[in-house]
Amino acid sequence: MRRTLVTFLTLLVLWVLVAQVNHVIAETQVHLFVGGLFVAYAALNLPLRDGLAAVLLGGLLCDAGAPVPFGTHTLLFAAVHAIVFNIRDRLPRDETVARVIVALLANLGLFLALSFALIGRGPAPGAVWPRLIVDLACSQVLLAFVAPWFFALQSRALVLAGAERDNLA
């Protein structure tokens, strides 16, 4: 239970930071999405029950502030968690570069799934794609820069909470 709570608290920090950045850049008409970070660490490093619980709570958090049907983020995050969890034994999950690549691919999949699921709700679905491509490109760049810091934050938070052993010692 401790791993779930600590991981969720780090996701809450990420959610707040991304919301603040999106607020600051709102006048540029760009929206950043880092859903891949909500899934990657938990799927790669935590046991199934703890990781899935943290990801589900993170999905509910994202659903609460998004103009999507409630449960959309939660369902997509759980699906991506299941996929990554099932292939994690084939990945070098202790390497930061591999973690970042997994987060980037998860983010791409989540972004496209959300876009395809919700694009029909607008008045001119075809006209939205150029903006979505810019949002995706900016989101991926931000994720690539922020992911190493966020993975270190999650790892260190688990160590400080006594939920994991320190691998540096």
Question: Residue 154 CB: number of other CB atoms within 10 A?
Answer: 25
Could you give the C-alpha distances from 20 to 14, 17, 62, 127, 160, in angstroms and in order?
A: 10, 5, 14, 27, 26
| pLDDT tens string 95-128 | 999 999 999 999 999 999 988 888 777 777 777 8
Global pTM reads 0.88
Q: For position 167, what pLDDT does the model report?
A: 56
The encoded tokens of residue 28 equal 């540029």
In which residue ranges of the chain is pLDDT below 50? 169
Burial 4-19 (b: 16+ CB within 10 A, else e): bebbbebbeebbeebe
